[in-house]
Amino acid sequence: MPRQLTITEIRLKNISTCVAITANTLDVLVNTLKISALAAISNTTQSLLKMVETIKQDKDDCAELMEHIDKLLNAIIGVYLKSDTGAELPPSILNQITKFTETTHKIHAFVEAQQSGSKVKKFFRQGELNALLKNCKAGLQQGLAFFQIRTATDVLADAREMQDQAQLRHQEVLNLVETMSSSDSASFISKMYSGSYTSSNSLSMLPAEPKIFHGRDSELAEILKLFSQGTTRIAILGAGGMGKTSLARAALHHEQITTKYQGNRFFIACDTASSKVQLAGLIGAHLGMKAGKDLTQAVLWHFSNAPPSLLILDNLETPWEPVEFRQDIEEFLSLLTDITSLALMITMRGAERPSKVHWTRPFLLPLKPLAQDAARKMFIDIADNRHSMEQVDQVLHLTDNMPLSISLLAHLVDMEGCSEILSRWETEKTSLISDGYDKRSNLELSISLSLSSPRITSMPHSQDLLALLSILPDGLSDVELKQSEFPIKDILGCKAALLRAALAYTDDHKRLKALVPVREYMGRLSPPTDQMIRPLLAHFHELLELYATVFGKASGALPISRITSNYTNIQNVLHYGLQREHLDSINTIYCMCYFSRFSMHIGRGTTPLLEDITSLLPSFDDHRLKAYVITHLFISSAYKPISQPETLIAQALDHLKYFDDPELEFPYRSSMVLLSIHPRPAQSNQTFSDCSLLGTGKHTLQGPMYCTSQIFMVGMAWWELRCWSSLCTGRTEAGQTLWRIVPRGNWIM
């Protein structure tokens, strides 16, 4: 007679059935929609199901753990199904998913230790297993609380209901997949990685050819003639709003250029770069290069060994104008132009060309306003030809025939008519002069008139959105508009109003942006309020904290593309937040360090924010904050050498005395290891002696650790340091740590 199952065994069998269904559902999401954040959970859960079948001990605890895993898996699947932003969830939810992933890894270790003859159990004492179980339960309870999930009181009674719900959820996912046509599926997946979340490969996408383009035939002909002379170096200059970018894009797509350079044409918007390293990193990203410390040489090598190529650097004035970076930028341009197979075209505001470059002659003159006939054609393309030409000319007179001004007023005329615009212009001009703005240009008057148009006044918060865009050169995606929780009613309606008034536009990655002259106008006369900045600051805080949490671990997907697409936005918002003490300056400083680490990670070097941090740090009375910043300064020393490391080491050691935080102390010790392996002449033996604390301090490895990267870093640090006599005793621990990684590390990958 077969042995009758105990209640605990029935419970474990039932929940395993539910988890199997849920795990299959999760697998469908991972494989169909390519949700990398769930891949580690899916793999770990599938492995858990196999081990649960053969466990010999602690079956009650294992059943409870599996029940909570099932509930959390269903909650996460439900979040994805209900999301109105595709698979791009808010950072707060992604952070919870990352924590849950780490918890499943710990559960895997606990369950594996319950196997008969388990090798893993040899590394655990019973007290450590109890501590591990307690840690697992705490992690699950935290997740249940976040997703507001109740825990069942009678699991046997709920078994059928749980299985039915698991089957229902599985069917929902299958229905989602089946109802999506192949094109819909591709579109859905594309949305997850487009817009604000582009990969480095998608950065190579060329901007579209301008749809409305008049009055630049002679300039375009001159450019094409210069290209026929051989290796070309062209600077398109002119005032803001004169159409420099449009001319560059027209040349980019001209048949003569496409035939000559084919797929080796690259268009780089430089208004998000603030240094030579960042500019090289930006170019490297468009070339599909892997991030590195400084991609300058890699970029030069690529173009030196590539077929004839065209590189267009748009808005190059952003990294070039700061005097402290100008020499580096010009030297980089000089190195690029030494490559005979590389044609270079830049656009810059003003009338000055960067030096150290032999620009192709004859020079292209700075762009001037459009001729009257071209201005009329542009106006009619936008506002149609139903208006009297006399009134059209009167409106054009107000624009100085500047392309941006024409675009703004033509969009207003299209809705309100010429007479109304002419009347409002006089009123607006009189008002501005009375307020002391008599020297404002007609372009600024055009912007002011657009802001007072019915399209904008009917959506009053649209001006708040435009003010916000004035400090966001990277723009915002629809996902970010929804997730940042701005105090703006009908934010997508406000977006539409700005687009209709031509005060904003969407780029080729579907990000909402404002042109530079509009951004400058709003930044000077109507900057964003703290009320508008605060939600975006909180959103970026969450995103950077997620990055800091996941970085170097196998427990989650790094939000690389989400941060990269907001690179300059984050710099501006964090800098703004640091100037406002009531906007949580301490948290902002932590995020500045996270962002600086990210910038190094993607090969753009450190950021100017480091200067802000070090100058303000003495004003804070927070030992943990100061220790963290000093640790980051050592980590970033490869980019920005430390002149007096001994002083900072002493300061860090002093701050570390005031709190007990292994997670902070460990990176500090690790950074000392790196400095010791590659010491600089200015460093004394104190650096080396401090490194010895890594293996002998109060936070040396005690029992099991569950983060692969941390175990690996400890192991490799000890392995590197084993040659010093003071740490010879670390050999055994180093070898044991590395053994844990290599033979047993596969289960958490």
268: phi then psi, degrees, rounded to nearest 5: -115, 120
d(CA 66, CA 14): 10
Question: Kind of pairing, strands 265-269 and 342-349?
Answer: unpaired
Residue 281: strand pairing partners: none
Q: What is the pLDDT of residue 703?
A: 35
Q: DSSP letters along 469-503, please?
A: HTT-TT-B-HHHHHHTT-S-TTHHHHHHHHHHTTS
CA torsion sign for 166, 170, 171, 172 is positive
Q: What is the pLDDT of residue 444?
A: 85
- pTM of the entire structure? 0.75
Q: What is the pLDDT of residue 672?
A: 56
Closest CA to 632 of 578, 590, 588, 604: 590
Q: Which domains does the chain have, with CATH numbers?
A: 7-193 (no CATH), 217-349 (3.40.50.300), 373-458+492-525 (no CATH), 529-620 (no CATH), 623-749 (no CATH)
Q: DSSP letters along 216-233, please?
A: -HHHHHHHHHHHTTSS-E
d(CA 601, CA 17): 42
Q: 30 near 73, Cβ under 8 Å?
A: no
Residue ranges of the chain with per-residue pLDDT less than 70: 1-3, 116-125, 150-166, 169, 173-204, 430-441, 552-557, 581-583, 662-749
Other CB atoms closer than 10 Å to residue 3's CB: what's the count? 6
Q: What is the pLDDT of residue 487?
A: 93
Q: 264 near 204, Cβ under 8 Å?
A: no
Other CB atoms closer than 10 Å to residue 287's CB: what's the count? 21
pLDDT digits (tens, 9 = 90+) for 177-203: 665 544 444 444 334 333 333 333 445
Say how many Å lie between the first and final Cα of the chain, rounded: 43
In which element (H, E) is residue 63 found? Answer: helix 59-82
Q: What is the pLDDT of residue 667?
A: 58
Q: What is the pLDDT of residue 696?
A: 36
d(CA 470, CA 457): 19
Q: What is the pLDDT of residue 38?
A: 86
